[in-house]
């Protein structure tokens, strides 16, 4: 469900672009990000940091796109967002008690600190690479190709990346501690022996 909420603005952008043009799609994505941010707050009772970041960037970049009728600004929006996230991830390696990725994904997931730090660096690298890919497509292909890449290419890359992360985590995560279960078994054996005596 959260994944679909996160996709909402880019789906709106893509749909409006297919019906109208880039400028109408830019206005639509600005409105969609506002609905996403405050709608999520209404139902989840909390703001999502990524939604706030997206809104804080899409409003000025979108406004500049509409004022100057220049699509360069909105094309840079996604890259700037990704690179800011990468900077936050890298900075958290040295500031604070936990890497940012651990704070984001750590609920119910127990991993050794070196694994969290490696995962944090992997996500930062992915964000940098994806942001660069966005600019490469924006400057080397037609506008429609870039819009399709934003909708399908970057979304597809994110899904594959997350799936690969899950597989990797399953391989490197330490096995669950069954020590307490073993102790309970030993205790049961002792009780059984006592009854036999």
In terms of domains, do 123 and 58 share one?
no
> What is the C-alpha separation between 3 and 171, in angstroms, rounded?
24
pTM (predicted TM-score): 0.84
The neighbour count for residue 88, using CB atoms within 10 Å, is 16
Final residue of a domain: which of 28, 54, 69?
69
In terms of domains, do 86 and 64 share one?
no
Closest CA to 71 of 8, 6, 137, 133: 137
Closest CA to 99 of 84, 114, 81, 80: 114
Under the banding of pLDDT at 50, 70 and 90, the label for residue 180 is very low
What number is the average pLDDT over the span 175-196?
50
In terms of domains, do 113 and 165 share one?
yes
In terms of domains, do 80 and 131 share one?
yes
52, burial (CB in 10 Å: exposed 0-12, middle 13-18, buried 19+): middle
pLDDT for residue 177: 61
| Domain annotation covers residue 84 | yes
**In contact, 123 and 162? CB cutoff 8 Å:** no
Under the banding of pLDDT at 50, 70 and 90, the label for residue 95 is confident
In terms of domains, do 12 and 36 share one?
yes
In terms of domains, do 161 and 96 share one?
yes
> What is the C-alpha separation between 192 and 184, in angstroms, rounded?
12
In terms of residue numbers, what domain contains 16? Answer: 1-69
pLDDT for residue 161: 96
In terms of domains, do 85 and 164 share one?
yes
| Domain annotation covers residue 192 | no
Residue range 33-50, pLDDT digits in tens? 999 999 999 999 999 999
> What is the C-alpha separation between 187 and 171, in angstroms, rounded?
32
- Give the percent of the chain with pLDDT over 90: 71
| Domain annotation covers residue 23 | yes
């Amino acid at each position: 469900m959260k994944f679909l909420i996160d996709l909402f603005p880019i789906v709106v952008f893509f749909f409006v672009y297919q019906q109208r043009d880039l400028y109408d799609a830019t206005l639509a994505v600005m409105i969609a990000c506002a609905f996403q941010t405050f709608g999520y707050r209404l139902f989840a009772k909390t703001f999502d940091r990524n939604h706030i970041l997206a809104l804080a960037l899409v409003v000025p970049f979108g406004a500049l796109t509409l004022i100057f009728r220049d699509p360069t600004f909105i094309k840079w929006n996604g890259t700037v967002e990704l690179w800011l996230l990468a900077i936050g991830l890298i900075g958290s390696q040295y500031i604070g008690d936990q890497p940012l990725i651990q704070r984001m994904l750590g609920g119910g997931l127990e991993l050794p600190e070196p694994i969290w730090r490696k995962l944090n660096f992997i996500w930062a690298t992915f964000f940098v690479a994806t942001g660069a890919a966005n600019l490469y497509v924006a400057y080397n292909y037609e506008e429609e190709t870039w819009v399709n890449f934003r909708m399908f290419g970057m979304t597809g890359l994110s899904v594959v990346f997350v799936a690969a992360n899950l597989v990797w985590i399953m391989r490197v995560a330490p096995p669950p501690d069954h020590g307490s279960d073993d102790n309970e078994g030993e205790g049961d054996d002792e009780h059984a022996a006592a009854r036999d005596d």
